[in-house]
Structure 1
Amino acid sequence: MNYIIGIDGGGTKTALKLADVDGKLILSNEGGPCNINSMGKEYVQKMLKELLEDTLSKAEISMEDVKTLCIGTAGVDRPDDKKIMEDIIRGTGYSGRTIITNDAETALYGGVGGAEGVILISGTGSICFGRNSEGETKRAGGWGHIIGDEGSGYYIGINAINRIAKGYDGIEEKTAMTDLILEHLNLKSPQGLIEFVYRSGAGKSEIASLAKLVDEAYKQGDTLAEEILLRAAFELFLTAKAVIDYLKLNRKEAFLAVNGSVIEKNECVSNEFKRLMNKNYPLIKVTSMKNDAAWGAVLMGMKN
């Protein structure tokens, strides 16, 4: 029997799915972070080797039985990065066919169930990726939290901190986000945000986690929180628009799958994004992902 392995290499965890060549799921497994830029080559190779060995042991098959391994992960957009990931995979002992691509592409396969359509991801960061029936692809966003990631959890969190600071200085009105976020971070004053942002070691994930408190302030009627969330939705719409227009998907019925805590769980962002899409692209159906990105990697491996 021949098998396919699909891997979604995330920034916090790695999801793996093992399937036979007929598309039957054999088992699922998980490992640690997989971003070579943040974790380093040695860590990622050790993690993948252990994950593969554990998977094969549980399935009672050998490495030689796996004919295709498809991995989608962040940080492999350049040829040099793909070569690093190729070396990492070979270092695990796997010698079969390998497909290495960005995690947005495998998410597209999983999200829309095939090659054509659009995937919009907004969690800690944000990115949009699409492909049309002619095989053309387009990516927008995904520049990281310092350069871009508009409409993401980080975008919402850092804008909330900015509005709290302006309220404290008297530049604009005070906001309910202040008490909610200070209590969450166990800070006595907005001035404590300087320590939190610059010296505490807090990263983009910690700042992105504040997005749920912005949502809470919005539900309490805070207008500044609403302003941040509506702007986030508009930024996500602009990102999706760039992909849709480039691929000429605005002229036909197509699916746009959404994934990530912000676009899926934040009611204000989700509703506003869907409103903007329906108004400007009535033929495009916004939907949840049909399958996850790891299964998308399996589908991509089967197709190729």
Structure 2
Amino acid sequence: MEYFLGVDGGGTHTRSLVVSEDLSVIGSGFAGPADILSMGKDSVRNNLVHAIEASLASVNISIEQIVSSCFGMPTYLDGVGTDEAINSLIKKVFPGLTVIVNDVQLALEASFPMKSGAIMLSGTGAMLMFRNASNEIHRIDGWGELAGDMGSGYYIGLKALQTAFKQFDGRIKNKKLLEAIMREIGVFDIREVINHSFNGSRKLVASLSKIVCSVANEEDAISKALLEDATNELLITIFAVKDLTDSLPIEIALSGGVFKCSYLRERVEKTILADKDLKLVNSEFDNIWGAIFLAISNVKDRRFLQDFIDKLRSLSAHHK
């Protein structure tokens, strides 16, 4: 029996999946973030090891039994100088045969296995990835908080924090968002966040987007405006994909924690549905399966992968 390992190292948490070739064995593990820019190499390595060991232990499999693996990592191939460090780190974590990709590609592979399509992922960061009929992959945004990630959780969270300080010093009279943020993070003075663990933490700043969504649902005009701004940025990214192909309509799926905010998601979906060049679809599989598909394709032919995906579809249908 051959086993495959898939690791989804996101900006919020890391997931690991161990799967046998016949899908009779499926083990999973979870750990903290794997963003090397915000966490540092040692923390990322520990989180990867913890997630992998947990998935192996859950099905009593040793790492030596893994024939191929795939790691989806934040910032990989982003051009920010982390690729060499990530390559070295993963070689220490898993010395066997592996493929490393940007974590957004896992969502693309899981949403559109072995076919064309676009995935708009908005979590801590934001990126659209598109594969055309010739199997060429293109990306839009995902350039980090200094140059991009427009409409991401970090984008919304940072604007929320800036708005809260405007409310604190009187530039904005409405203090509803300020009060909600202070209550959620447990401070009595918003100035405490300047020296708080929020300083330099993408994950914590991004977490404020959930507060914005919650306050927007209470009919707060300022929070609604922040979400509408993020919606517009996401739609700019989505519309740009139409310039990458003449094969229309383009199937597109939405993924990531930001789209759990119904106020934002409903507006994005409504706009996509009204565009004849775009076709909104649901992701076929959870993102972590994209890592398994890539691990398999690294050592097996397309026929083997297609048979595996068909088995997974049957298994998924049986459990619905």
TM-score (norm 2): 0.80
Matched residue, 1:291: 285
| Cα drift, residue 171 of structure 1 | 4.4
Matched, 1:254 2:250: yes
Matched residue, 1:219: 217
| Cα drift, residue 297 of structure 1 | 0.6
| Cα drift, residue 9 of structure 1 | 1.0
| Cα drift, residue 46 of structure 1 | 4.4
What is the distance in 2 between the residues matched to 1:72 and 1:200?
30
Kept in 1, the 8 Å contact 2:9–2:48? The answer is: no
Equivalent residue runs for 1:260-275 within 5 Å: 260-263=256-259, 265-275=260-270
Kept in 1, the 8 Å contact 2:28–2:56? The answer is: no
Matched residue, 2:295: 301
What is the distance in 1 between the residues matched to 2:6 and 2:113?
14
What is the distance in 2 between the residues matched to 1:258 and 1:220?
25
What is the distance in 1 between the residues matched to 2:162 and 2:282?
32
Amino acid at match of 2:226: I
Matched, 1:205 2:203: yes
Q: Deviations over 1:139-164 (max 9, x none)?
A: 12222223322212222222233334
Q: 1:29 to 1:216 in 2, by over 3 A?
A: closer
What is the distance in 2 between the residues matched to 1:273 and 1:2?
42
Q: 1:171 to 1:282 in 2, by over 3 A?
A: same
Q: How many residues align?
A: 295
Equivalent residue runs for 1:42-61 within 5 Å: 42-61=42-61
| Cα drift, residue 93 of structure 1 | 5.5
Q: 1:136 to 1:50 in 2, by over 3 A?
A: same
| Cα drift, residue 107 of structure 1 | 1.3
SS of aligned partner of 1:127: strand
Matched residue, 1:84: 85
Q: Calculate the aligned-residue CA RMSD, in Å.
A: 2.8
Structure 2: which 5+ residue stretches go unaligned?
Answer: 299-320
Identity among equivalent positions (%) equals 29
What is the distance in 1 between the residues matched to 2:137 and 2:103?
14
Kept in 2, the 8 Å contact 1:114–1:299? The answer is: no
Kept in 1, the 8 Å contact 2:111–2:286? The answer is: yes
What is the distance in 2 between the residues matched to 1:156 and 1:6?
30
Q: 1:227 to 1:12 in 2, by over 3 A?
A: closer
Amino acid at match of 1:266: C
Q: 1:181 to 1:248 in 2, by over 3 A?
A: same
Q: 1:225 to 1:70 in 2, by over 3 A?
A: same
Q: 1:51 to 1:118 in 2, by over 3 A?
A: same
Matched residue, 2:69: 69
What is the distance in 2 between the residues matched to 1:47 and 1:246?
39
| Cα drift, residue 58 of structure 1 | 4.3
Matched residue, 1:237: 235
Structure 1: which 5+ residue stretches go unaligned?
Answer: none
SS of aligned partner of 1:135: coil
Amino acid at match of 2:239: K
Amino acid at match of 2:85: I
Greater mean deviation of Cα atoms: 43-52 or 139-148 = 43-52
Q: Deviations over 1:84-103 (max 9, x none)?
A: 333333324632x2111100
Q: 1:57 to 1:151 in 2, by over 3 A?
A: closer
Q: 1:164 to 1:302 in 2, by over 3 A?
A: same
Q: Could you tell me which of 191, 195, 199 is aligned with 1:194?
A: 191
What is the distance in 1 between the residues matched to 2:176 and 2:60?
56
SS of aligned partner of 2:104: helix
Equivalent residue runs for 1:8-19 within 5 Å: 8-19=8-19
Equivalent residue runs for 1:93-242 within 5 Å: 94-95=95-96, 97-167=97-167, 171-172=171-172, 174-188=174-188, 192-196=189-193, 198-202=194-198, 203-242=201-240
Q: 1:86 to 1:181 in 2, by over 3 A?
A: closer
Amino acid at match of 1:65: Q
Q: Deviations over 1:186-210 (max 9, x none)?
A: 455xxx33331x2122133333222
Q: 1:98 to 1:145 in 2, by over 3 A?
A: same
Q: Deviations over 1:98-118 (max 9, x none)?
A: 111100001111123344211
SS of aligned partner of 1:209: helix
SS of aligned partner of 1:210: helix
